[in-house]
Copies of this chain bind each other. A is one copy, B any other.
Amino acid sequence: MFPKNAWYVACTPDEIDGKPLGRTICNEKIAFYRGEGGRVAAVEDFCPHRGAQLSLGYVCEGKLVCGYHGLQMGCDGKTVSMPLQRVQGFPKIRAYPVVERYGFIWVWPGEAQLADPAKIHPLEWAESPDWAYGGGLYHVQCDYRLMVDNLMDLTHETYVHATSIGQKEIDETPVNTKAEGDHVITSRFMENVMAPPFWRANLRGAGLADDVPVDRWQICHFHAPSHIMIEVGVAHAGHGGYHAPKEHKVSSIVVDFLTPETETSMWYFWGMARNFSAQDTALTAQIREGQGKVFAEDTAVLEAQQRNLSANPGRRLLMLNIDAGGVQSRRIIDRLVAAEQPQKLAA
């Protein structure tokens, strides 16, 4: 269950570098490619001639050329040409609104006339030289909402990520959740604790002592339809925590774009944006590698959870206080999906 009238991250630019990419998003099979002038384009991955998969073809002068019989498809879903054929009467295929911004390709799988690029979620860090970003993509066999639950409640770090970012104090510290429109915030503040291995490494990476008590924070932001940004960091204890001056803390933003593929599978674009040692590309690579291992731990848990839920479709789950972030985020999703349904007439 997902809203279709929304901007989702579809892919990263390297995935359409020199060749089309076929990817299913919200049950839509889509071919992504660079069209005229290098502008990104997205059309139905279905050749109107005989149903071949357009993304198996190639791009020539901004047209997507079908690899079967050479039909040239335009970015608007209208056939441009085909050898020896008049193509005016060819049926149009769907074209999807698509925008390249912030280092991602964004697609709107719903009604094209509703797509407004101004609604793409703003990412200030993506446009500032003070920040560095590294990330990756996982294909996960679960409903994307299980990942929303996962990321809006970091209690699981103690168990799922015991050797990297988990620590006992996480699940001993209550969370606070609030919703503001299509934005949900779950926050947890731990004071005067020892940093876990991931953060000790980051303290050292920023030239700070790693063997002294710290204040640690986690502030999870859900934005519709399914983008989650988590402010995370540690500051040497007693300097103000989240509000400590820069020389006493290291902090970053865990970036998670959850893009539904089908009802029970998803594309997980994960990464981390940081504003310390931003020019240190070796550090970026090191963080990316560590984070990739951590997030692979989540996918194993969630895929098993999905199998359990699929086998027990009617079963009620608990909604505890730690689940409030996920519960409130799902309410927003429910509302957006309901708004897309055809209106029923009053009796």
Chain B nearest CB from A72 CB (Å) reads 11
Q: Which of A136-178 contact B (CB under 8 A)?
A: 149, 153, 155-156, 158-160, 171-172, 174
In the complex, what residues of B have CB within 8 A of residue A126's CB?
A: none
In the complex, what residues of B have CB within 8 A of residue A29's CB?
A: 308, 311
Chain B nearest CB from A44 CB (Å) reads 9
Interface size class of A (residues with CB under 8 A): 35 or more
In the complex, what residues of B have CB within 8 A of residue A174's CB?
A: 84
> Is A65 on the interface with B (CB-CB < 8 A)?
yes
A85 CA to B171 CA, complexed, in Å: 10
Residue contact A171 to B84, C-beta cutoff 8 Å? yes
Residue of B nearest to A56 (CB): B304
Pick from B52, B160, B300, B312: contact of A46, CB below 8 A. B312
In the complex, what residues of B have CB within 8 A of residue A290's CB?
A: none
Bitwise, A51-82 to B at CB < 8 A (1) or not (0) is 11100110000000111111000000000001
A158, A172, A317: residue with the most chain B Cβ atoms closer than 10 Å? A317
A49 CA to B317 CA, complexed, in Å: 6
Residue contact B155 to A69, C-beta cutoff 8 Å? yes
In the complex, what residues of B have CB within 8 A of residue A85's CB?
A: 320-322
> Is A318 on the interface with B (CB-CB < 8 A)?
yes
A311 CA to B321 CA, complexed, in Å: 42
In the complex, what residues of B have CB within 8 A of residue A48's CB?
A: 318
A316 CA to B93 CA, complexed, in Å: 12
With A65-B159, A160-B67 already in contact, the answer to whether A51 and B171 are too (CB < 8 A) is no
A316 CA to B57 CA, complexed, in Å: 21
Number of copies: 3
Chain B nearest CB from A79 CB (Å) reads 10
In the complex, what residues of B have CB within 8 A of residue A46's CB?
A: 308, 312, 315
> Is A344 on the interface with B (CB-CB < 8 A)?
no
A158, A174, A322: residue with the most chain B Cβ atoms closer than 10 Å? A322
With A301-B56, A308-B45 already in contact, the answer to whether A160 and B51 are too (CB < 8 A) is no
> Is A293 on the interface with B (CB-CB < 8 A)?
no
Residue of B nearest to A304 (CB): B53
Residue contact B84 to A50, C-beta cutoff 8 Å? no
**Interfacial residues, chain A to chain B (CB-CB below 8 A):** 29, 45-46, 48-53, 56-57, 65-70, 82-85, 90-91, 149, 153, 155-156, 158-160, 171-172, 174, 300-301, 304-305, 307-309, 311-312, 315-318, 320-323
27 A-B residue pairs with Cβ-Cβ distance under 8 Å, sorted by A, are A29-B308, A29-B311, A46-B315, A49-B317, A49-B320, A50-B149, A50-B318, A50-B323, A51-B309, A51-B312, A51-B317, A52-B301, A53-B304, A53-B305, A53-B307, A53-B308, A67-B159, A68-B160, A68-B305, A69-B159, A70-B155, A70-B159, A82-B320, A83-B155, A83-B158, A85-B322, A91-B316
What 7 pairs between A and B have smallest CB-CB spacing?
A: A83-B171, A53-B304, A51-B308, A52-B305, A51-B309, A49-B318, A70-B159
Q: Told that A52-B304, A53-B304, A85-B321 touch, could you supply 12 new A-B pairs with CB distance under 8 A?
A: A49-B320, A50-B305, A56-B301, A67-B301, A68-B160, A68-B301, A70-B158, A70-B171, A83-B172, A84-B174, A85-B322, A91-B318
